[in-house]
Structure 1
Amino acid sequence: MKKSVFILLLLFFITLGSFSQEQENYKKEVSELVSFFNEQNYDAIYNMYNYDMKKALPLTKTKTFFADLNSSLGKISKIEFKNLKELAHVYKVTFASEVRDMLVYLDKNNKIGGLQITYHKPENLQLIERNTTKMILPFHEEWFVFWGGTTKDQNYHVAHENQKYAYDILIMKDGVSFTGDPKNNESYFAFGKEIIAPCDAKVVKVITGVEDNIPGELNPEQLTGNTIVLETSNKEYILFAHLKHQSIVVREGQFIRQGALLAQCGNSGNTSEPHLHLSLQNTLDMNIATGGKLYFE
């Protein structure tokens, strides 16, 4: 499962300098950027860009991006300098409805050469190297790990912090995952198979109502599709994604026992064919999570 990152643009990586505090030129330019954003003066923001930034993000795209941001998050009420990343400055930005992080780079002429807005990650989040709760595999029968492992060659998820060490699992027979019409979900061996709870846990998130894709077609707007997240007693979060439409039988707040039916394997969300995306997170929110390794009994 590939994740769309909420990002404007980042056009640089430079050697770390010797300073660690906010520079006055950044304070001035970022203050102007915030004022222009709150005034919805996106032409003025565009005029703060350097040549490369303007070329990479033309005025039309700049207006669309900031208008969408303003519409979804509201005005900025507070901005705080956090730290440096390379020579860029990182700020904690409080919008009307949410907190985000903003990374800004200024060139030698104090023009914006890089700008990135990401989900705010609290500094006190504890990492999970692996699960300590004992778990069984969340399905019956024999399944095949299509993506899984601890290296990028074995598992493309490793490159994405919030999905690090995640599994994409399906059923293979004689080297193939389906028989019959490849455009029919029912042709895939994994489609409709039961997904069960790997351990005793609390259901802390349920997403339903997402139709299953036609195989080969993606739905990046509803990334994980029909989804369940379980919370263990050790504050481990297990995410099950791409579940079958109308198959989820648990609800948020429910405590379930190991082996209990959760849903059926499906093809909803950003997926090209029926499979189970399974991952361990250190927090409920996938957008700010760091993945951990899942071990089974």
Structure 2
Amino acid sequence: MKKSLFILFLLVSVISYSQDKDNYSKVVADFQSLYNEGNYNAIYYMFNYDMKKAMPLAKTRAFFADLNSKLGKITQVEFNKIKDLAHIYIVTFASEVRDITFYLDNNNKIGGLLVTYHKPDNLPVLDRNTTKMILPFNEEWFVFWGGIDKKNNYHVAHENQKYAYDILIIKDDASFSGDPKVNENYYAYGKDIIAPCDAKVVKVITGVKDNIPGELNSEQLTGNTIVLETNNKEYILFAHLKENSIAVREGQFIRKGGLLGKCGNSGNTTEPHLHLSLQNTLDMNIATGAKLYFDRILVNGELQLDYLPVKGDAIKNRD
């Protein structure tokens, strides 16, 4: 469920400073003026040869037009830090704050440009859950991606999804029966997703249509989504839920085992499954993923205590 946010960044060497440089200040000021004027052609001509190859004029114009339509004009630019020869700025747009990283070559041409979500330095650190959890579903489900290494869990490579699970239902070595283009033919589709602990509902995204299996919705990554907050300030994200199935609202307190919604196929997903992750803050865009353990569950038919499921496990709540 990974989507790169914006643009190529070309980078060299490793060094760190704490103060902005005059040549960067001038280039960034020019960039701000040209962006706010909508003069994206002129921004393109600020690029060096490599950037122009990576971002041709038409692509550059489309990129900044899309950025402007989503975030609006730049109202403030504040130098933040230097990392790996590049300067990072906190940029306030009309609607949101972003970080923009600039790298200039020896001719003061832009050789790298990266727009990312602004991540505060004071976010809490979370390694794993201390709240006791049950699995958020009934019946036996299969861990398609899970664990703490990249071999078993591709999410590990992505900080905001680190240690996340993709879980579905398997029967006779398949996740569906019949036409693979029909959501209802997938065993996980429409199954109840329940609260793994007592928690507060702090985020709900609804109204996203389920995909035809095999197709992706890269504009609404998590699809229909719920985020729960535990008493210990742990945030549990449930993604790709079924259209019109969410049974809770933001601000609601839900008890362990209570119905959240149903498994679906909405968002950036190819087939019905549950994407489940633990994170250190509410906003997935700036979060760091953490390990999610379950208190007492059956794993491949055997009881396991305080267990972190891994790829290939068949898991079920102990009755």
| TM-score normalised by the chain length of structure 1 | 0.97
Equivalent residue for 1:15? 13
Secondary structure in structure 2 of the residue aligned to 1:70 = helix
Q: Deviations over 1:118-174 (max 9, x none)?
A: 000111101210011111100111111000011111100011111000000001112
Equivalent residue for 2:3? 4
Structure 2 Cα separation of the partners of residues 180 and 132 of structure 1: 42
Work out the percentage of aligned pairs sharing the same amino acid: 73
Q: CA deviation at 1:107?
A: 0.4
User: Could you tell me which amino acid in structure 1 is paired with residue 99 of structure 2?
Assistant: D
Relative distance call for 1:18 and 1:204 in structure 2 (3 A) is closer
Structure 1 Cα separation of the partners of residues 27 and 218 of structure 2: 34
1:114-263 paired onto structure 2 within 5 Å: 114-263=112-261
1:94 aligns with 2:92: yes
Of stretches 112-121 and 220-229 in structure 1, the one that deviates more from structure 2 is 220-229
Native 8 Å contact 2:15 2:83 kept in 1: no
User: Could you tell me which amino acid in structure 2 is paired with residue 5 of structure 1?
Assistant: S
Relative distance call for 1:18 and 1:259 in structure 2 (3 A) is closer
User: Structure 2: any 5+ residue segments left out of the alignment?
Assistant: 296-319
Structure 1 Cα separation of the partners of residues 258 and 81 of structure 2: 46
User: Could you tell me which amino acid in structure 2 is paired with residue 7 of structure 1?
Assistant: F
Structure 2 Cα separation of the partners of residues 82 and 19 of structure 1: 11
Equivalent residue for 2:267? 269
Q: CA deviation at 1:55?
A: 1.1
User: Structure 1: any 5+ residue segments left out of the alignment?
Assistant: none
Secondary structure in structure 1 of the residue aligned to 2:294 = coil
Equivalent residue for 1:61? 59
User: Could you tell me which amino acid in structure 2 is paired with residue 138 of structure 1?
Assistant: P
Structure 1 Cα separation of the partners of residues 119 and 154 of structure 2: 23
User: Could you tell me which amino acid in structure 2 is paired with residue 251 of structure 1?
Assistant: R
1:112 aligns with 2:110: yes
Native 8 Å contact 2:247 2:260 kept in 1: yes
Q: CA deviation at 1:15?
A: 1.8
Q: Deviations over 1:171-203 (max 9, x none)?
A: 111211111221111111111111100000111
Secondary structure in structure 1 of the residue aligned to 2:232 = coil
Alignment match of 1:281 (pick from 270, 279, 282): 279
Q: CA deviation at 1:3?
A: 2.0
- Kindly report structure 1 stretches of 4+ aligned residues shifted beyond 6 Å: none
Q: CA deviation at 1:18?
A: 6.0
Secondary structure in structure 1 of the residue aligned to 2:200 = strand
User: Could you tell me which amino acid in structure 2 is paired with residue 265 of structure 1?
Assistant: C
| TM-score normalised by the chain length of structure 2 | 0.90
User: Could you tell me which amino acid in structure 1 is paired with residue 106 of structure 2?
Assistant: K
Structure 1 Cα separation of the partners of residues 237 and 147 of structure 2: 17
Secondary structure in structure 2 of the residue aligned to 1:169 = strand
User: Could you tell me which amino acid in structure 1 is paired with residue 95 of structure 2?
Assistant: S
Structure 1 Cα separation of the partners of residues 14 and 181 of structure 2: 51
Relative distance call for 1:136 and 1:18 in structure 2 (3 A) is closer
User: Could you tell me which amino acid in structure 2 is paired with residue 94 of structure 1?
Assistant: T
Secondary structure in structure 1 of the residue aligned to 2:266 = coil
User: Could you tell me which amino acid in structure 2 is paired with residue 281 of structure 1?
Assistant: Q
Native 8 Å contact 2:204 2:227 kept in 1: yes
1:7-46 paired onto structure 2 within 5 Å: 7-12=6-11, 14-17=12-15, 19-46=17-44
Q: CA deviation at 1:77?
A: 1.6
User: Could you tell me which amino acid in structure 2 is paired with residue 98 of structure 1?
Assistant: E
Structure 1 Cα separation of the partners of residues 113 and 24 of structure 2: 12
Structure 2 Cα separation of the partners of residues 54 and 97 of structure 1: 29
Structure 1 Cα separation of the partners of residues 68 and 176 of structure 2: 45
Number of equivalent positions: 295
